[in-house]
Amino acid sequence: MGRSPSFEKGLKKGPWTTEEDQKLVAYIEEHGHGSWRALPIKAGLQRCGKSCRLRWTNYLRPDIKRGKFSLQEEQTIIQLHALLGNRWSAIATHLPKRTDNEIKNYWNTHLKKRLTKMGIDPITHKSRTAVNTNLSHMTQWENARLEAEARLVRGPRVASNFYQRFHYGSAPFINKSLPQPLCLDVLKAWQGITLSKLSDLTRLETFNNQTLAVEPSDMKTENPKNNLEISNGSVNIVLESPKDEGVQNTLGVAGDMIYQDDYLMDAFTNHLVNDVSNRSFDGGFEDVDNNYWSNILDKLGNSSSFSSIF
DNA sequence: AAGAACATCAACCGCTCCAAA
DNA sequence: CTTTGGAGCGGTTGATGTTCT
């Protein structure tokens, strides 16, 4: 197949000089790149065509955005990597103005390490650790969020938004066909929100890349009990919708936050405590009954004991 | 202050794909 | 159908910069 550049004698290698860059840019702007193999001779460059193509596509092209990756871009990379693996060029098509090489480098030097640090396998995008470990709350939160992100692009999303109400009557407690951990997942997430106070809420802001200065008193969830409804022996958990204009005003955000919060909801519902049914508490999940939920409600009224539920 | 260790990222290499002959 | 070679992709390298000891 194509000859290796190593066979092409007398051609320069290594970093490009400003002069070489100028020659390359000037030629392409005037003639287009045409055949890359023929380009260096026409442009007066002592480089192989491949080197020219790389320099142009990864560095000199005018439609390239350089510099720090935004949070949104990071999220996109993580999601797409979960879906596509190391197919950098495919990933790059979803990140306007970023090159596959840049994304690959960023993944290898930043994102991969970060995921590993969080206990997430950067290849499988799955948690390497049990949920109920000594991980800090925020590490668990990030872990869950990233897992949810990965899952989002792997398959169909579960219905989830802030209008959604999670309803558990007495019968479903022993119905294995239902997503049993769902309710507890939300509670667990809640625990994070309510106990972590403003510092963690500030942290949540970074999900949205927007200013989200929320006083704890603005959050209905400060007392989780306020967001619980009990009727006919069942417990409904009601979360505020960011799609509600009033909520948006309160939070000082709009538009794209909604998507982010759908994300969070997915994290809440599916990943924060994804193996909750295997964990032991009060005799196990299948054994719980309405009294169990009554106990939870009692505990929810006292945030200091809330954490002991899990 | 200096050297070592680590991090970053531009650039290269080798491979595959695919269109054209 | 087979061969050829250009283009592009992903893994890796190595020069350079930064941080640590």
What CATH number should be reported for the domain holding residue A144?
1.10.10
Residue A134: phi and psi, rounded to 5, are -90, 15
- Out of A156, A185, A213, a domain closes at A156
Kindly list the distances between the CA atom of residue A98 and the CA atoms of A57, A64, A104, A192, A195, in Å, as whole numbers in the listed order.
Answer: 10, 6, 10, 35, 39
Which nucleotide is the nearest neighbour of A50, by CA and C1'?
A: C7
Structure tokens at A19: 């002069």
Same domain, A125 and A163: no
* A59 is near strand B: CB distance < 7 Å: yes
Same domain, A79 and A19: no
* A73 is near strand B: CB distance < 7 Å: no
CATH for A35: 1.10.10.60
| Domain-located, residue A5 | no
> Which residue is closest to C3 in terms of CA–C1' distance?
A1
| Domain-located, residue A192 | yes
Which nucleotide is the nearest neighbour of A85, by CA and C1'?
A: C10
Same domain, A173 and A297: yes
- Which range of residues forms the domain containing residue A24? 11-60
Query: Is the confidence at residue A291, as pLDDT, over 80?
Result: no
A90-138 tens-digit pLDDT? 888 888 888 888 898 898 888 888 887 777 777 777 766 544 343 444 4
SS3 of residue A187 by DSSP: helix
Instruction: State the distance between the two ends of chain A, measured CA to CA, in whole angstroms.
Output: 61
| Number of domains comprising chain A | 3
- Out of A156, A184, A209, a domain closes at A156
* A54 is near strand B: CB distance < 7 Å: yes
Same domain, A279 and A235: yes
* A55 is near strand B: CB distance < 7 Å: yes
* A232 is near strand B: CB distance < 7 Å: no
% chain A with pLDDT above 90: 0
Residues 11-70 of A with CB under 7 A from strand C: 14-15, 34-37, 49-50, 53, 57
Same domain, A82 and A220: no
Task: Output A53 or A196, whichever has higher pLDDT.
Answer: A53
Q: Point out the least confidently predicted range of A76-90, A209-223, A289-303.
A: A209-223
- Out of A156, A185, A214, a domain closes at A156
Interatomic CA–C1' length for residue A166 and nucleotide C18, angstroms: 50
d(CA A267, CA A279): 19
